[in-house]
Amino acid sequence: MPVALLKVEIRYEQDVVLARRRARQIAEHLNYAPQDQVRIATALSELVRNVFQYTPGGRVEFGLEAGDPGKFLIRVSDRGHGIRELEAIMSGQYVSKTGMGVGLSGARRLVDDFAIESDTGGTVIDIACFLPKRAPPVTKQTAAQIGMALAAEEPQNPFEEMQRQNQELLAALDEVQRQQTRLTQLNIELEETNRGVVALSSELEQRADYQKRASELKTEFLSTITHELRTPLNSIISISSILIDRLDGDLTDEQEKQIGFIRNSARELSAMVNDVLDLAKVEAGKVVIRPRSFEVDEMFRVLRGMLKPLVLPNHPVELIFEDAARHPPLISDEGKVSQILRNFISNALKYTHTGEIRVSARSVDDDWVEFAVADTGIGIALEDQDRIFEDFTQIDGDHQLRIQGTGLGLPLSRKLATMLGGQVMVDSAPGEGSTFSLLLPRHYAGIEGVEEAAPDAELTGVRQARVLIIDDHTPDRYVIRRTVERHADEVIEAIDGASGLSAAVSRKPLAIFLDLNLPDIPGEHVLKELKRLPETRDIPVIVNSSKVLSDAQLDALLADADAVLSKSLSHGERKRRIADIFSRITLRPKAASHA
């Protein structure tokens, strides 16, 4: 409940001065700062002057209210006929020639709380200011002490109070001037700062443009250099596979051993090139997840066949794939899951000298599956288990003298796992082996449709026909020729785009294998021309290239081409894909016959 201090009746002009003085004196006893004393006295002076000018008279009541914070209360009431246009005055929309209403709006800005009620019986205004922290406690004893102090002060005549008010106003004006000077200085500093920010922003934009261009150049460089490296590497791998498969006759044991060294070295170099490219694509955000339904047991079967050549017959390490036939299908990107597991198994083979490497899969619950590759190798110290996932990082030790690598397989695996919505974990100790785990959601999130896994195409029963190969690289033409010979009774070769178009029109093949990097005409233009000409528009075209294609480029090619093959495919995968293509070609009506 508020504690009353004193009352001041407003009848004469000197009462206005008295009310102002009392407000300032009470504020001083409540330990308000000098500028706050002036603020409170000024606010009350504006309200009391209105009472004196526009009403027959009124009253000012001072009081205190306890609370957190406490309040200095002042009520101003009059015996007038109310305030017209009160809402407009308080909103600042009312304009008066006499200045009426200015005091109300001005007083409201000077206090913490402001409330007004007005009708034909008069007006009551309640204002309040929060008590300072140094204010005495709000009690009746405090009110009595303030009353006694006010009574003991010598009375001042109105002239002396006006002089004091003028001095306070002059001091306030000086303070306003100082604040204005400070504000001007701050504005100057702010303008200078803004100019610096604009300059910095411009520099950052330039650097961002530079970084973007550098990233584009890096991608372009990687695409070009990858093609230049992949083309000879793929030829070496494919031709060595043809020799080892004895398609051109028997080999001696020494010849088979030497060719095996050549093929394995080329595969290692090709894997390094692929790791660098894949990591760059992940960092550039150019990798797209292609989810489909696939069987874990089938993926294990393919991995077993792919990695079997890495385990030599007399090698004291056994590669074991646990049975996953009862494991439910997954919906994810099979290629990327397989790539992660290949990296795990390849590392395990490098660092395991005796014992076994065991590959397994288990359901964690209804929504997750965990793949694990456990080995009995040299193990990894706890302090190194985070470092192995950093780019180009390999743990120092005697084993590094014997084992080569780029240090990119595990960092790439972790990034791919994150893209698939999962994570990679390692559990290892020196001398006790390692277990690398891949935890994945059973259903990849955010997919709209699922591509069902297609069964492998049969390699027999395919109708033979004429095939055209358009490629300027002799080893690549040789590899495709040897792969398609079982499906065609004639293979035609063209070394550039012009001769390839001519052969396609004149010989009308059943299928065309087209490289994109041709010496005279870009392969993309040759593809467009083949689909434009009436004589060739219905002939299936299979793009066979080592170029690194973005998703947009791949989609553009598939708008005209029947399939897109990478020259980096293994010999077995290439045979399977080409057999599947010929199976689909021969199952549909033939649109262009050959002579």
Using the predicted structure, report yes or no on whether residue 595 has a pLDDT greater than 50: no
Asked if 435 and 504 sit in the same domain, the reply is no
Please choose, from the candidates 517, 511, 526, the residue with its C-alpha nearest in 3D space to the C-alpha of residue 583.
Answer: 511
- Amino acid 278 reads D
DSSP conformational letter for 462? P
Q: Is residue 224 part of a domain?
A: no
pLDDT tens for each residue of 60-78: 999 999 988 899 999 999 9
Asked if 520 and 419 sit in the same domain, the reply is no
- Amino acid 335 reads G
pLDDT at 513: 95
Strand-pairing partners, residue 123, are 118
Q: Is residue 482 part of a domain?
A: yes
Using the predicted structure, report yes or no on whether residue 41 has a pLDDT greater than 60: yes
Using the predicted structure, report yes or no on whether residue 100 has a pLDDT greater than 90: no
pLDDT at 580: 84
SS3 category, 125 = strand
- Amino acid 21 reads R
Using the predicted structure, report yes or no on whether residue 7 has a pLDDT greater than 80: yes
- Which of 270-274, 349-353, 520-524 has the lowest average pLDDT? 270-274
pLDDT tens for each residue of 120-178: 999 999 999 999 999 999 999 999 999 888 877 755 566 655 655 666 676 677 778 88
**Cα separation, 345 vs 247, whole angstroms:** 30
**Cα separation, 49 vs 27, whole angstroms:** 20
- Which of 4-8, 56-60, 442-446, 507-511 has the lowest average pLDDT? 442-446
**Cβ neighbours of 200 (radius 10 Å):** 10
pLDDT at 592: 38
Question: Of 139, 155, 171, at which residue does a domain stop?
Answer: 155
Asked if 412 and 471 sit in the same domain, the reply is no
Asked if 507 and 541 sit in the same domain, the reply is yes
Q: Is residue 203 part of a domain?
A: no
The DSSP bridge pattern shows strands 434-441 and 368-375 to be antiparallel
Cα atoms found within 13 Å of the Cα of residue 391, Cβ hemisphere only? 9
pLDDT at 586: 58
Asked if 445 and 474 sit in the same domain, the reply is no
pLDDT at 226: 64
pLDDT tens for each residue of 160-170: 556 556 666 76
If pLDDT is split at 50, 70 and 90, which confidence band does 44 have? very high
The strands making up 113-119's β-sheet, listed across from edge to edge, are 3-10, 58-65, 71-78, 122-130, 113-119
Using the predicted structure, report yes or no on whether residue 386 has a pLDDT greater than 70: yes
Instruction: Say which CATH number the domain at 296 has.
Output: 3.30.565.10
pLDDT at 514: 95
> Which one of 29-38, 88-97, 399-408, 444-453 scores highest in mean pLDDT?
29-38
Give percent of the chain with pLDDT exceeding 90.
28
Asked if 378 and 327 sit in the same domain, the reply is yes
**Cα separation, 43 vs 36, whole angstroms:** 11
Asked if 11 and 149 sit in the same domain, the reply is yes
480 neighbors 513 (Cβ within 8 angstroms): yes
Asked if 362 and 421 sit in the same domain, the reply is yes
Q: Is residue 331 part of a domain?
A: yes
Question: Which tokens go with 321?
Answer: 């794939």
Mean pLDDT to the nearest integer, 361-379? 90
**Cα separation, 200 vs 219, whole angstroms:** 28
Asked if 486 and 367 sit in the same domain, the reply is no
Using the predicted structure, report yes or no on whether residue 356 has a pLDDT greater than 60: yes
pLDDT at 171: 67
Q: Is residue 173 part of a domain?
A: no
pLDDT at 279: 67
Question: Which tokens go with 417?
Answer: 């796992």
DSSP conformational letter for 389? G
Using the predicted structure, report yes or no on whether residue 584 has a pLDDT greater than 60: yes
Q: How far from each other are the two terminal CA atoms of the chain, in whole angstroms? A: 112
pLDDT tens for each residue of 495-541: 998 889 988 988 889 999 999 989 888 999 999 999 999 889 989 99
**Cβ neighbours of 551 (radius 10 Å):** 11
pLDDT at 105: 82
Strand-pairing partners, residue 276, are none
Cα atoms found within 13 Å of the Cα of residue 83, Cβ hemisphere only? 26
Is pLDDT larger for residue 414 or for residue 219? 414
**Cβ neighbours of 209 (radius 10 Å):** 10
- Which of 46-60, 367-381, 578-592 has the lowest average pLDDT? 578-592
Question: Which tokens go with 12?
Answer: 């004469």
Asked if 554 and 521 sit in the same domain, the reply is yes
pLDDT at 72: 95
Is pLDDT larger for residue 270 or for residue 4? 4
Please choose, from the candidates 139, 26, 131, the residue with its C-alpha nearest in 3D space to the C-alpha of residue 69.
Answer: 131
pLDDT tens for each residue of 404-434: 555 678 888 888 898 898 899 999 989 899 9
pLDDT at 394: 67
Question: Of 155, 185, 215, at which residue does a domain stop?
Answer: 155
Instruction: Say which CATH number the domain at 512 has.
Output: 3.40.50.2300
pLDDT at 123: 94
Q: Is residue 246 part of a domain?
A: no
Element (H, E) at 280: helix 253-283
Is pLDDT larger for residue 293 or for residue 212? 293
E-state strands within 447-510: 451-452, 465-470, 488-494
Is pLDDT larger for residue 549 or for residue 439? 439
Asked if 58 and 117 sit in the same domain, the reply is yes
Q: Which domain holds residue 32?
A: 3-155
Question: Which tokens go with 223?
Answer: 């695409």
Mean pLDDT to the nearest integer, 292-306? 88
pLDDT at 594: 35
Strand-pairing partners, residue 355, are 317
pLDDT at 434: 93
Asked if 388 and 412 sit in the same domain, the reply is yes
Question: Of 122, 137, 155, at which residue does a domain stop?
Answer: 155
- Which of 204-218, 235-249, 384-398, 581-595 has the lowest average pLDDT? 581-595
Q: Is residue 332 part of a domain?
A: yes
Q: How many domains does the chain have?
A: 3
If pLDDT is split at 50, 70 and 90, which confidence band does 582 have? confident
Q: Is residue 187 part of a domain?
A: no
**Cα separation, 173 vs 181, whole angstroms:** 12
pLDDT at 409: 80
If pLDDT is split at 50, 70 and 90, which confidence band does 449 have? very low
